[in-house]
Amino acid sequence: MKSEKLNKKLEKYLKKGKYKKYRKLRFKHGEYYNVLSCITDFKYSFDEKPFTDADSLVLCQLAYTDLSDFKGKKLSEIAENVIDSKKVAPYCHDDCMKVIDALTQSERLGGIVVLDAREKLSKEEDCQYGVTLFDCGEFLYMACRGTDDHMIGWLEDVDLIIMPEIRSHELTIEALNEYGKLYEKPFIVGGHSKGGNMALYSAAFCDTAVQDKIIKVYDHDGPGLLPSTFEKEEMKNIIDRVDKTCPELSIFGMIMHEGVPYRVIYSHCRNIYQHYIFNWQIEKTDGTCVKAEITDRVSRVVRIVIEIVLPTMTEEDRMRFRAFTASILDRAGIFVLGDFSFGKILKLIGKMFGQPWSEQKFMWGILGKVLKAIPKAEKAAKKEKNEYKKANKIA
């Protein structure tokens, strides 16, 4: 129960349009859930409270795990059947296992059943992919895995700005089509980070009969698609069912985001840690993400810089950038995020300067374009903020 003093302060912030201070104060006094506390404490059934943002975040986090040995199991039963937790959650071990453990106590989500789980990691195919299918009772949820700690996955993120379709797109569409033919229930498709991109793309380009079964697409801070892709009729058919969420500091979610409306939501953390869904705050009343107003300055500047620089790069330039990055990572012996160390970073820098001058000159040229675009982006970002504040009367 809030004190009268706290209530007055919150009302004061709202009245004056000081929404950031309002959210921070509510967070400080424990008035929001996070993903873990929502699992155990949001006790409404789906009949009482329909599927929420928080439910989607939980299932998308589980997509980072390997649940292939738990087909037919309820989420509340997984923890007691885990023999090797590092096999189940090798990339985000502690946090994913916290989710799995919390699900043993969840009245709302514990009864959801794992129907299928697939994954593939292939350097030859430049592919890091995974999907998990959940039976939520009245509907199915296909959760798409985002980038894990393999460099193959991070390079695949670069591929998204080069190619209209990558191997993971193909595999995700294949899975969704198979599930759509196998099950009569309607679908929700979702994902976090690169998984959000996979969810959006597969929902747009799956078979028409399967797309008709899709009731919603959750894109949690996922990178966008090439402009040419958004112009296609298949994308127009699904866009009104897409629910995209991005924190105030969004880097990945703002890349090529044009064409997808999005909600800005509140994360209590700073910097890049806002991308991590464990830091997203959730309303206790209905399980939705706490709403914010506008992405912050860094997000807007990065987005505008990308919008300025990318059109100046031909497809050949983008492929060359990708090949250069892949080559120096490989030569430095960096294959997963855990390989980064002070010594490996020094080796990485050495390999960069060890490349032919023509390649170094090309990369320095890209850096020059980025630096040149920053002042223009800063001005545009400031203008966007002022226009937004004026239109919405925000202090």
The predicted-structure confidence for 149-203, as pLDDT tens digits, reads as follows 777 777 788 888 888 899 999 999 999 999 999 999 999 999 999 999 999 999 9
In a domain, 373, yes or no: yes
In a domain, 298, yes or no: no
In a domain, 253, yes or no: yes
Q: Both 143 and 208 in a single domain?
A: yes
Q: Which of 251, 270, 293 is the last residue of a domain?
A: 293
In a domain, 3, yes or no: no
**126 token code pair:** 């430049």
DSSP state for residue 316 in the 8-state scheme: H
> Which pLDDT score, from 0 to 100, does residue 382 have?
92
Report the domain count for the chain: 2
Average pLDDT along the chain: 89
Q: Both 103 and 186 in a single domain?
A: yes
Q: Which of 293, 322, 355 is the last residue of a domain?
A: 293
Q: Which domain holds residue 339?
A: 303-392
The CATH number that applies at residue 193 is: 3.40.50
What is the mean predicted confidence (pLDDT) over 308-327? 84
pLDDT tens-digit map of 210-252: 999 999 999 999 998 888 898 899 999 999 999 999 999 998 8
Q: Both 282 and 205 in a single domain?
A: yes
DSSP state for residue 150 in the 8-state scheme: B
Q: How many residues does the chain have?
A: 395
Higher pLDDT, 375 or 93: 375
Q: Both 95 and 53 in a single domain?
A: yes
Of the pLDDT bands very low, low, confident and very high (cuts 50, 70, 90), residue 1 is: very low
Higher pLDDT, 31 or 3: 31
Strands 140-144 and 262-265: unpaired
In a domain, 11, yes or no: no
Q: Which of 264, 293, 322 is the last residue of a domain?
A: 293
pTM: 0.90
Q: Both 344 and 369 in a single domain?
A: yes
Q: Both 289 and 325 in a single domain?
A: no
In a domain, 361, yes or no: yes
CA-CA-CA-CA torsion sign (264, 269, 271, 274): negative
In a domain, 10, yes or no: no
Which of 192-196, 258-262, 379-383, 390-394 has the lowest average pLDDT?
390-394
In a domain, 159, yes or no: yes
Ranges of H-type helices in 82-166: 85-88, 93-102, 151-159
Q: Both 99 and 198 in a single domain?
A: yes
Q: Both 200 and 310 in a single domain?
A: no
pLDDT tens-digit map of 279-298: 999 999 999 999 999 888 88
- For the chain, what percent of residues have pLDDT higher than 90? 57
Q: Both 284 and 375 in a single domain?
A: no
Q: Both 319 and 234 in a single domain?
A: no
What 148-153 contacts at long range (C-beta under 8 Å, 24+ apart), as own/partner pairs, is: 148/64, 148/91, 148/92, 149/91, 149/336, 149/337, 149/338, 150/121, 150/335, 150/336, 151/326, 151/329, 151/334, 151/335, 151/336, 151/337, 152/121, 152/122, 152/123, 152/126, 152/127, 152/128, 153/128, 153/194
Q: Both 258 and 336 in a single domain?
A: no
What is the mean predicted confidence (pLDDT) over 316-332? 78
Q: Both 272 and 329 in a single domain?
A: no
